[in-house]
Amino acid sequence: MVTSEDTVTEEPALRNRMSATPHHDSAHLHVSGQALYADDIPLPANTLHAAFGLSGIAHGRIREMDLAPLQRMPDVVADRKSVV
């Protein structure tokens, strides 16, 4: 059972600081539509991208991978099997 003597009274200044919303430096840019996002930044020429193939089987073991179709695709530089 909680009584009024068990409650902790906080200093008003501390309570106000804890409940205050922190100031966000770019908030005005976000609400005005002027914020710069990662997708808005142009990539340097010849940038390489990585892609991952994921298994649909949890804790499964990969016994073999046929990467020939991947290697025949245009602009593929390397795959994990050829790097290791």
Q: How confident is the model at residue 44 (pLDDT cuts 50, 70, 90)?
A: very high
Query: Phi, psi (5° rounding) for residue 68?
Result: -60, -45
Is residue 81 within 8 A of residue 67, CB to CB? The reply is yes
Specify the residue for token string 């010849």: 46
How far lies 79's CA from each of 44, 50, 55, in Å?
A: 22, 9, 16
CB proximity list for 24: less than 8 A, separation 6 or greater? 30
For 31, the token pair is: 């609400």
| Higher per-residue confidence, 84 vs 3 | 3
| Higher per-residue confidence, 20 vs 56 | 56
pLDDT in tens, 2-39: 555 555 555 666 566 666 777 778 888 888 988 888 88
